Amino acid sequence: MDSASSSARTVAACVIGGIVLGASVVALHLGAGPAAPSLPPVEALRRRFRRRRRPVRVYMDGCFDMMHYGHCNALRQARALGDELVVGVVSDDEITANKGPPVTPLHERMKMVRAVKWVDDVIPDAPYAITEDFMNKLFNEYNIDYIIHGDDPCLLPDGTDAYALAKKAGRYKQIKRTEGVSTTDIVGRMLLCVRERPVSDNQSHSSLQRQFSHGHGQNIDDSGFGNGTKISHFLPTSRRIVQFSNGRGPGPDSRVVYIDGAFDLFHAGHVEILRLARGLGDFLLVGIHTDQTISSTRGPHRPIMNLHERSLSVLACRYVDEVIIGAPWHISKDMITTFNISLVVHGTIAENMDYTEDDSNPYAAPIAMGIYHKLDSPLDITTSTIIRRIVSNHEAYQKRNEKKEASEKKYYDSKSFVNGE
């Protein structure tokens, strides 16, 4: 009897509940007009997640003058702090006013920054200092979440912090400065050759080479500073190479394109020829010649950057898939087979264009196999072009370096460990 009574009550409750629910639906239908079609539950959740998961956009600015692997590593670290990296490239006028004349003009620096594989967008003519107006523009127009800079101080001519406003707004993040290199260091390596002798503006390439064969024997103290110039104390690690590498090889049917060279003082001319080479295949393999090979073919003054420094600069380029660190001067048939190379290319603008006249042509094997192709270089720039810019205006760069070296020495003397990659 109790069981039957309980069942009856349950049925009654269900009937009453159904009537109430039905009446509520009817009331809503009559009072609110046609109901909007509802999204499937899964799609509704996806849209809600996408609205909540807006990409984190970070901003980093800089001069990026004579761009090197230290710049690239800073951009890599900045990109790791967000989902998208926007880079501001400071104008020529702003650099001149705050630091002295840049070595490379804005249009070349823009090509270099755009070619770095961790960069998503670039803002030209960025101000040297983060003003309130520009900071609001970054936040509101570019949807920037954080402004990034290295742990080394960036001071304006009046001694104030260039990133003070970003720090005050709570939208600032810091990365670790890459040890062993800076534009000041690189310019200093080239300035060593002109400190004891005057340099004419119309000097020939051979006289430029003779000058750069001097100056490397100067005394350098343990801190790396000698006669005002800090030399490179770059310490290559396997982890850094892995961080810069794409970590993937070509597929079995990939068309592998090979290009080799010194790639010293990596510049816009290098970037453009690599871009064209990558467009000829599916995978671009770049051979980086050894320091000894470069010295034997271009003089004892070269290279300015050592093998590992040059390799990292090339690896950071978005058009490059893999590098051979210490590639042979001669490209053999065995090497072509080993790396499954489909095409070997060389630019029309290079510092050593008489290789075909040598008794032993380094490209003899690919030429004989019919897989050699000469590319028209888009830019008439070589490493010697960059060196000439320094030498022809060495007094201005000497003053710029002396000013910068003082702040860099202060940084190194007082620096502490910063956890970072």
Q: In the predicted model, what is the mean pLDDT of residues 210-222?
A: 36
Dig out the tokens for 359 from the structure. 């008794």
pLDDT band, residue 370 (cuts 50/70/90): very high
**Nearest 5 degrees, angle CA 401-CA 405-CA 407?**
130
> What are the tens digits of pLDDT across the range 44-58?
555 554 555 789 999
Q: With beta carbons less than 8 A apart as the criterion, state whether 286 and 257 touch.
A: no
Which residue in the block uniquely carries the two structure tokens 């107006």?
Answer: 133
Q: In this model, does residue 11 exceed pLDDT 70?
A: no
The answer to whether residue 309 scores a pLDDT higher than 60 is yes
pLDDT given for residue 394 in this prediction: 74
Q: What is the mean pLDDT of the segment spanning 208-220?
A: 36
What value does the mean pLDDT of the chain take? 79
Give the range among 6-15, 82-91, 360-369 with minimum mean pLDDT: 6-15
Q: Which amino acid is at 215?
A: G
Reported confidence tier of residue 392, pLDDT bands at 50, 70, 90: confident
Q: How would you list the strands of the sheet with 146-150, edge to edge?
A: 121-126, 84-90, 57-62, 146-150, 172-175
Topology of 238-375 in CATH?
Rossmann fold (3.40.50)
Mean pLDDT of 98-106: 90
Q: What is the pLDDT of residue 204?
A: 43
Q: Is residue 123 predicted with pLDDT exceeding 70? A: yes
200's tokens: 């004419």
Specify the pTM: 0.76
In this predicted structure, what is the pLDDT of residue 414? 60
Domain definitions of the chain by residue range: 57-175, 238-375
Residue 358: what residue type? D
pLDDT at 227: 37
pLDDT over threshold 80, residue 39: no
> Does residue 398 register a pLDDT over 80?
no
What average pLDDT does range 403-416 have in this prediction? 57
CA separation for the pair 75, 58 (Å, rounded) = 10
Lowest mean pLDDT among 145-154, 198-207, 305-314, 402-411: 198-207
Structure tokens at 323: 């590098």
Do the two domains 57-175 and 238-375 of this chain adopt the same fold? yes
User: pLDDT-derived band of residue 188, with 50, 70 and 90 as boundaries?
Assistant: confident
Q: What's the CA gap between 242 and 239, in Å, rounded?
A: 5
- Which fold is adopted by the domain 57-175? Rossmann fold (3.40.50)
